[in-house]
Amino acid sequence: MSENRNCDESLVGSSTPDEIGNVDGLMSLSFREDEVSKKIKGLDTNKGAGPDSIPPIFVKRCRFVLSLPLTIFYNRSLKDGVFPEVWKRSRVVPVYKKGDIADVKNCRPICILSCFSKLFESVLYPVIFKCLDGYIDEQHGFRKGRSIQTNLMSFVTETCQELDRGRQIDAVYTDFSNAFDKVSHALLIQKLRGYGMGENLLNWFKSYLRNRPQSVVVGGAESTPYIARSGVPLGSHLGPLLFLLFVNDVRNHIKHCKAALFADDLKINKVINTVCDAALVQSDLNGIQHWCFLNGLILNINKCFHIKHTRKKNPLVTVYKLDSAPLKEVQEIRDLGVIIDKKLTFTSQVNKVVTTSTQMLGFLKRNAGCFGCTTKTILYNALVRSHVEFGSIIWNPLYAIHSQRVESIQRSFTRHLAFISRGFSHRHPYHQRLKKFNMLSLYNRRILAGVTFLHKLLNNHIQSSDLLQEIKFVVPYSFPRFKINNIFQIPSAKTNLGVQAPLVRILRDFNKLNSAYPELDIFGSGLIGFRESIVGCLSRT
């Protein structure tokens, strides 16, 4: 992690969250032996040893001997507010992200830590997260029940509905330069105090963050150890949580726009009716920039973009600035791996999916000639279909020609399987090939993914109050004589874009399935049983 000069002491606390008070569970912590033993049992034995050369498999096999002394040691560490110095040592492995592979700035520094250190963090993490989860509601990264899908589902559904009403939505995407590496330790401790942590736990975190020796390992060669003066350790359990708590109060500086965070990826959006609305967006951008100044972070203006989502022929002209420099306006942008264009047609996303998947399918055909159908299907699912289905409930094709282009990938693969199968011609129709190889069409798999997402949302496996508020039920005015199969109310729409808004489309798909198969129970069935029922229904269509 790179060093960063700490903020001026006069700024420490000026951007900390509002005082929450003493949060139950954060004043004093202690663990039981069975809790530590359970965490040891869950260790991944495939992981390697840390700087202390003790592998997880050794700790796991000695679970019954180590659980009690480790419990005593962990509790004493929390009580005294001291994190062991020997567990602070880490080896940093650079992991390539994107861009020029020769540029070290395009690598993410992942810390290889001691097994005992990570075990300690894994015991402490759920307690702190449970106490503070309600204060980071806009955050979708590193949280149970949140994901890329929840982030994009809320944004794209709302944007589709606003465009259906003929409105213009301006979205601004910001980028923080090396945000994880530039977290000020002094300011982070002040923010943790604002969240209601007790002094013992605060002292423990001070000890945890202070004087962490690191050395970079590349190609088996190890650098001279150095001390990280700022940042949170990537590769740890507590590092991502500490970062979420550090950046969470940026929302206090966003007064007029809707904001969505995924770790350090922040986007804001607002419906633009007049130039006054654009001025409010600029005001929030100024607030974000001021927050960055208070927290010692830097906005990479070259990677901050502005996009107008609209179907108007003459949209309202708006210009947004950071540091007096105008932001570049783009026609499409890559948002968490999904390419979103200004009209939400997802044409570029479909082109990317088809191109990448076709290349991977060609690679599979050329290099897996000696394998049988079962092995090739496994490779197809891992190498090809994973590309096709990433974020598919968001970018589900609007047009039939796009859907056919995507489906052609699996058509080609099933034809290849049929060609190498005995007693089955590759000239059989597509639906017969799917039945032969026990596969669903990609179209039906997108329906399955969407309805499964809806089940998780309604049964609290996915936590998103914004999406739940958009779901309306059909309520009869009198006692119905027959069972109501269309249980979800579908909002009216003027355009195909409003009809195909992600959440609206999922609700409609379930209503159709429930009308054809009334035995489906989205509320009473478990996830596995419900998914199997949907697969059975789709296999018969």
pLDDT in tens, 117-144: 999 999 999 888 888 888 888 889 888 8
pLDDT at 143: 87
- The encoded tokens of residue 80 equal 């005294």
Quote the pLDDT of residue 23: 57
Q: Which residue has the higher pLDDT, 484 or 167?
A: 167
Q: Which candidate, 169, 142, 195, 369, places its Cα nearest to that of 273?
A: 169
pLDDT given for residue 24 in this prediction: 55
Question: 541 with 466: CB under 8 angstroms?
Answer: no
- Looking at residue 111, what is its pLDDT? 87
* pLDDT reading at 363 higher than 60: yes
Q: Residue 398: which pLDDT band, with cuts at 50, 70 and 90?
A: confident
Decide if pLDDT at 541 tops 90: no
Using the 8-state DSSP alphabet, how is residue 94 labeled? E
Confidence of residue 25 (pLDDT cuts 50, 70, 90): low
pLDDT at 39 (0 to 100)? 92
When pLDDT is averaged across residues 253-276 and rounded to a whole number, the result is: 93
Please spell the DSSP secondary structure of 201-239, one letter per residue.
HHHHHHHHHSSEEEEEEETTEEPPPEEE-S---TTSSHH
pLDDT band at 244 (very low <50, low <70, confident <90, very high): very high
Residue 129, strand partner residues: none
pLDDT at 50 over 60: yes
Domain boundaries, the chain: 347-439, 445-538
pLDDT higher than threshold 50 for residue 536: yes
Q: Kindly indicate the confidence band of residue 145, based on its pLDDT and cuts at 50, 70 and 90.
A: confident
Q: What pLDDT score was predicted for residue 8?
A: 39
Name the pLDDT band for 410 (thresholds 50, 70, 90).
very high
What's the confidence (pLDDT) of residue 104? Answer: 76
Alpha helices in 16-147 (DSSP H): 33-41, 56-61, 63-80, 115-132
pLDDT-above-70 percentage for the chain? 94
**pLDDT surpassing 50 at residue 14:** no
> Computed from CA positions of residues 252, 253, 255, 258, in that sequence, does the dihedral angle turn out positive or negative?
negative
Q: For residue 306, what pLDDT band results from cuts at 50, 70 and 90?
A: very high
Phi and psi at 41, nearest 5°, equal -60, -30
Backbone angles phi, psi at 499, to 5 degrees: -65, -40
Choose the weakest-confidence range: 94-98, 185-189, 274-278. 94-98
Mean pLDDT for all residues in the chain:
88
- How far the first Cα of the chain sits from its last, in Å, is 54
Task: Check the CA dihedral 77-78-82-85 and report its sign.
Answer: positive
Q: Assess whether pLDDT exceeds 60 at residue 11.
A: no
pLDDT of residue 207: 93
Range 357-380 burial, b when 16+ CB lie within 10 A, else e: bbebbeebeeebeeeeeeebbebb
Mean pLDDT, residues 154-160 taken together: 94
Number of H helices, E strands in the chain: 20, 16
Residue 4 predicted with pLDDT over 70: no
d(CA 208, CA 302): 34
Q: Is the pLDDT confidence value at 15 over 80?
A: no
Stronger pLDDT, 478 or 380, i.e. the higher one: 380
What angle separates helix 502-516 from helix 148-164, to the nearest 10 degrees?
100
Q: Which pLDDT score is estimated for 19?
A: 52
- β-partners of residue 2 are none
